Structure formats: structure tokens, C-alpha cells
Amino acid sequence: MINHEALTRVYKQNLEESMIEYLAEQKYLTMEEAMDIYYRSQLADQIDKGIYGIENMDYKYLVHDLIVNEPELFEK
């Protein structure tokens, strides 16, 4: 029998990996920089908590949302 919690956890991990890779590509960041930005974001917290079902959205859309709505994360 499939464990729903385990499946959800793996799905979120894959989503986060895709988002971090795409963020690095879009903003010309290293993977470490992209990970730091992502894990400091409100979006990461929302995905982790499953708020509004946001984790079911396309990773490219979510990265765009992150860039637009949390620009302070990209200031150096």
C-alpha cells in the first residue's frame, strides 16, 4: 500500500529541486545561491506547509512568482 505522506514528501522534494535548478538558470545563480534564496523565501514555507495547494502549481510559475513577489531576496 502506498503511504500518502511519503509520496507527498517525495513530490515536494522533486518540486523544490526543479524550482531551485530553474531559479539558478533564470537568475544566473549558482545552485548554492539559488538554494539559499529559495529556502529563505516565504514561498518555500508555503510549499512546505501545503498552504492553498500551492505545491500543485507548475515549478516555472512558482519561480516567476518568487522573483516578482520576493525581490528583496535577490538584493546583494
CA–CA separation, 40 and 4 (whole Å): 27
Longest dimension (CA), the chain: 48
Residue 8 has a pLDDT of 86
Amino acid making up residue 29: L
**In the predicted structure, residue 16 carries a pLDDT above the cut 90:** yes
pLDDT exceeds cutoff 90 at 21: yes
* pTM score: 0.90
pLDDT at 24 over 90: yes
